[in-house]
């Protein structure tokens, strides 16, 4: 996030696109409601009629995957009416004329044809966003999990820069991170092309710095993303896989294919808290510790690095995650002998400028928001205050592209996936939690009353869902949350593994799969 959560309470306008905030980030949803009650305008754009939509001034349900068109349409209207922030564009950005040229084409009429959102609504959204400064844009996986994920994000940034909403308090472009330490995993270099602090592995200076610090010549060529690793497992280039605390068998698209390639591995190592679907295929299983059983830091969606403290000793023979990795690394001939997480943290901060000013003592309970480069630096609540990290903010002229798979005669329904409020990710943690499990015990697929009526489906009835990649059976939930032709299913439930159906096609740059759009058909199961 460019900004901080608390700031949303003072926004003039909050634009939520592709985030089911009340269910997936409820505490942020609370801040949005407060902002609204204090007078902020709220725009919600989501293909489903989500809970948060009840509170919005404008709600639109754009067609799955049509985000770029919708955002371009809004910008078209803003530019046509002169509602954009000339001064901000002039002083802080570049590439505006390229964008302007592309926007020319995205008339409300054309956008209506693509998105299904009426011209009047597009104009109202544009006016509301541009007219209530500062406006905060919030998004989640509804924006990113597309073959055009990067385009979608760029369009969000275009809109924010166009109206002078970057580098201001209570504004910004704010992706809501889905997991407790996604931000931290990225910051720590859990990516194939960068060391901690986004220092490129291919950059000679950075590579030398880390090679010296770690006492070993390090590879300079960027590695494979998860998406490419899966491909590598298929063609035999990847022989061994070490999976730490993830369950890709349930979370990856086209999971039938992943099943198949995991079996081709010579060696699979899995570290987890439970016997997950992925762990069941492992050659060796490491029993890791939970959040309550080890010290360490987590970095949240607003870049705030905070300490989690060990409350109890690891249960049974489980070991803290850092300890297991030290043992494995040492056994492989690369010694790691840290005595505690703080020692690891100190080594990390010495090599990572954005975390450079942090110590356990300074973090305390409140934590610090990076960049925090020096011991006296107070941390950074919002980014790009005076300058973008690259100097000037760049507008990207982005054209709309269809999702990889669109409904057709054979597969007439749109399917989208996501979470529901009492469960988390592949359900490994929440389905063993009695209070969370009792809230929702099985998977389901949301079907509109109209479609259910047409197919004579009853609420709770098992239905067969088929895509080009696989098929599952799942109980029907008849609800007006989804419109005609649209289906939604959460991916938490192993009995109804919806990711057998999803499309592994991915964004060419971010390599993020298109979980949010695929084409399926429904079949009533004969009695």
Partner 1 sequence: MDYQMVPSICPYCGVGCGVLLEVIDGKLAGTLPLKTHPNNEGKLCIKGWNLHEHVVSDNRLLFPLVKEEGRFREVAWDEAIEISAKRLKAIIEEFGPDSVGVLTSAKMTNEANYLIQKFSRAAIGTNNVDHCARL
Partner 2 sequence: MNMMHEIVKEWLEQEKIDLFIGYKVVDGHPLPCFFTRENIDDVDNLVESKARYPLEKIAAKVYSTHPEMKIGILARDCNQRALNVLYVWNQLDPEKIETVGINCCPSPAREHADCSYLEREPSGPLKTLIGIENNLKPEQAEVYSQEERFKRWSYEFEKCIKCYGCRNICPVCFCKECSLEHSDLIKKGELPVEIPIFHLVRAVHMAGRCIDCGLCEDACPANIPLRLLYREVNQITARLFDYRAGTDSGQSPFSILGENVTLEPMSL
Which residues inside 333-352 make contact with partner 1, applying CB under 8 A?
333-334, 336, 338, 341, 344-345, 347-348
Using alpha carbons, list the distances in angstroms from residue 309 to 124, 134, 293, 319, 365: 48, 37, 8, 15, 10
Backbone conformation region of residue 99, classed left if phi is above 0, alpha if psi is from -120 to 50, else beta: alpha
State the nearest-atom distance from the C-beta of 50 to partner 2, in Å.
9
Options 105-113, 115-123, 285-293, 444-452: segment touching partner 1 (CB under 8 A):
285-293
Task: Show contacts with partner 1 in window 405-444 (CB under 8 A).
Answer: 421-422, 424, 429-430, 432-436, 439
**Could you tell me where the beta strands, DSSP code E, fall in 328-441?**
368-369, 393-394, 413-418
Binding partner selected for residue 38 from partner 2, partner 1, none, CB under the kind-specific 5 to 8 Å limit: partner 2
Residues 353-412 within binding reach of partner 1 (CB under 8 A): 365-367
Size of the site for partner 1 (CB under 8 A): 140
Would you tell me the crossing angle of helices 96-103 and 67-80 to the nearest 10 degrees? 100
Beta bridge partners of 368: 305
Applying CB under 8 A, does 298 fall inside the site for partner 1?
yes
Select the binding partner of residue 54 from partner 2, partner 1, none (C-beta < 5 to 8 A, by kind). Answer: partner 2
- Using rule CB under 8 A, residue 218 touches partner 1: yes
Q: Yes or no: say if 425 and 179 are a contact pair by the CB < 8 Å rule.
A: yes
Residue ranges in 305-334 that form contacts with partner 1 under rule CB under 8 A: 305-313, 315-319, 321-322, 324-329, 331-334
Provide the minimum distance between the beta carbon of 480 and partner 1 in the complex, in angstroms, as a whole number: 23
Under the binding rule (CB under 8 A), the answer on residue 33 touching partner 1 is: no
Question: Given candidates 50, 74, 201, 206, which one binds partner 1 under the rule CB under 8 A?
Answer: 201
| Interface pick for partner 1 out of 82, 97, 205, 216 (rule CB under 8 A) | 216
438 binds, among partner 2, partner 1, none (CB under 5 to 8 A by kind): partner 2
Nearest CB to partner 1, comparing residues 78 and 305:
305
Q: How far is the CB of 422 from partner 2 (least distance, A)?
A: 7
Rounded to the nearest whole angstrom, what is the least distance from the CB of residue 456 to partner 1 in the complex?
Answer: 35
- Residue 32 as a binder of partner 1 (CB under 8 A): the answer is no
Element (H, E) at 308: strand 304-308
Q: Which two tokens stand for residue 145?
A: 């999990």
| Residues 510/144, Cβ–Cβ less than 8 Å | yes
What does 232 bind: partner 2, partner 1, none (CB cut-off 5 to 8 Å by kind)?
A: partner 1
In contact, 16 and 45? CB cutoff 8 Å = yes
Residue closer to partner 2, measured from CB, 23 or 293: 23
Cα–Cα distance for residue pair 80/156, rounded to 1 Å:
18
Pairing of strands 135-139, 13-17: parallel
Element (H, E) at 447: strand 445-447
Q: How far is the CB of 363 from partner 2 (least distance, A)?
A: 9
Nearer residue to partner 2 within complex by CB, 10 or 228: 10
In angstroms, what is the minimal distance from the CB of 362 to partner 2?
10
Question: CA neighbours within 13 Å on the CB side: how many for 242?
Answer: 6
> Judged by CB under 8 A, which of 54, 113, 120, 237 binds partner 1?
237
Q: Which does 55 bind (CB under 5 to 8 A by kind): partner 1, partner 2, none?
A: partner 2
Candidates 49, 51, 100, 180; binder of partner 1 (CB under 8 A) is 180
Which residue lies nearer to partner 1 by CB, 79 or 250? 250
Pairwise CA distance, residues 395 & 410, whole Å: 39
Q: Is 115 exposed, middle or buried (0-12, 13-18, 19+ CB in 10 A)?
A: buried
Backbone angles phi, psi at 399, to 5 degrees: -105, 150
Q: How far is the CB of 80 from partner 1 (least distance, A)?
A: 36
Of 22 and 115, nearer to partner 1 (C-beta) is: 22
| Pick from 24, 17, 388, 3: nearest CA to 174 | 3
- Give whichever of 97 and 204 is closer to partner 1, judged by the CB atom: 204
Q: Which helix (H) or strand (E) holds 450?
A: helix 449-454
Query: Which of 135, 261 has the CB closer to partner 2?
Result: 135
Q: In the complex, which residues of this chain contact partner 2 (CB under 8 A)?
A: 22-23, 26-27, 29-30, 33-34, 36-39, 51, 54-55, 364-366, 420-422, 435, 438-440
**Cis peptide upstream of residue 54 (ω within 30 degrees of 0):** no
CA–CA distance, 344 with 307 (Å, rounded to integer): 13
d(CA 99, CA 72): 9
């Amino acid at each position: 996030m460019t900004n901080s959560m608390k700031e949303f309470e003072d926004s003039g306008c909050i634009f939520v696109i592709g985030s089911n905030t009340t269910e997936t980030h409820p505490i942020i949803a609370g801040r949005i409601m407060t902002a609204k009650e204090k007078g902020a305008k709220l725009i919600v754009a989501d293909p489903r009629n989500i809970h948060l939509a009840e509170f919005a001034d404008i709600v639109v349900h754009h067609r799955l995957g049509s985000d770029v068109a919708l955002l371009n349409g809004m910008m078209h209207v803003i530019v046509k009416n002169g509602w954009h922030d000339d001064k901000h564009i002039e002083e802080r950005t570049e590439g505006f004329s390229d964008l302007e040229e592309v926007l020319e084409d995205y008339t409300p009429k054309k956008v209506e044809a693509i998105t299904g959102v009426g011209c009047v609504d597009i104009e109202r959204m544009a006016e509301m966003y541009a007219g209530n400064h500062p406006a905060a844009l919030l998004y989640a996986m509804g924006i990113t999990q597309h073959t055009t994920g990067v385009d979608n994000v760029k369009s969000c940034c275009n809109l924010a820069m166009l109206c002078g909403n970057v580098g201001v308090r209570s504004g910004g472009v704010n992706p809501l991170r889905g997991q407790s330490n996604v931000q931290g995993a990225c910051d720590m270099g859990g990516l194939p092309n960068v060391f901690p602090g986004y220092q490129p592995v291919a950059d000679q200076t950075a590579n030398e710095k880390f090679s010296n610090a770690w006492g070993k010549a390090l590879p300079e060529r960027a590695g494979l993303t998860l998406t490419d690793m899966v491909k590598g497992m298929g063609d035999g280039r990847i022989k061994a896989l070490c999976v730490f605390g993830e369950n890709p068998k349930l979370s990856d698209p086209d999971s039938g294919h992943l099943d198949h390639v995991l079996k081709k591995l010579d060696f699979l190592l899995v570290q987890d808290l439970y016997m997950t679907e992925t762990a069941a295929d492992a050659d060796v299983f490491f029993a890791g510790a939970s959040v309550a059983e080890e010290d360490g830091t987590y970095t949240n969606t607003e870049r705030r690095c905070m300490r989690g403290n060990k409350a109890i000793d690891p249960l049974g023979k489980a070991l803290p995650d850092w300890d297991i990795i030290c043992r494995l690394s040492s056994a492989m001939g690369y010694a790691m002998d840290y005595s505690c997480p703080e020692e690891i943290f100190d080594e990390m901060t010495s090599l990572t400028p954005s975390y450079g000013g942090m110590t356990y003592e300074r973090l305390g309970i409140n934590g610090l928001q990076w960049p925090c480069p020096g011991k006296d630096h107070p941390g950074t609540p919002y980014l790009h205050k005076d300058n973008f990290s690259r100097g000037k903010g760049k507008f990207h002229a982005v054209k709309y592209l269809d999702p990889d798979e669109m409904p057709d005669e054979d597969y007439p329904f749109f399917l989208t996936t996501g979470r529901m409020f009492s469960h988390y990710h592949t359900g490994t943690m929440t389905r063993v939690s009695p209070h969370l499990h009792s809230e929702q015990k099985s998977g389901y697929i949301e079907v509109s009353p109209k479609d259910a009526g047409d197919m004579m489906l009853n609420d709770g009835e098992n239905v067969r869902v088929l895509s080009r990649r696989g098929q599952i059976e799942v109980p029907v939930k008849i609800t007006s949350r989804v419109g005609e032709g649209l289906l939604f299913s959460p991916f938490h439930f192993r009995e109804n593994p919806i990711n057998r159906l999803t499309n592994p096609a991915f964004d060419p740059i971010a390599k993020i799969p298109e979980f949010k759009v695929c084409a399926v058909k429904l079949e009533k199961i004969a009695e």
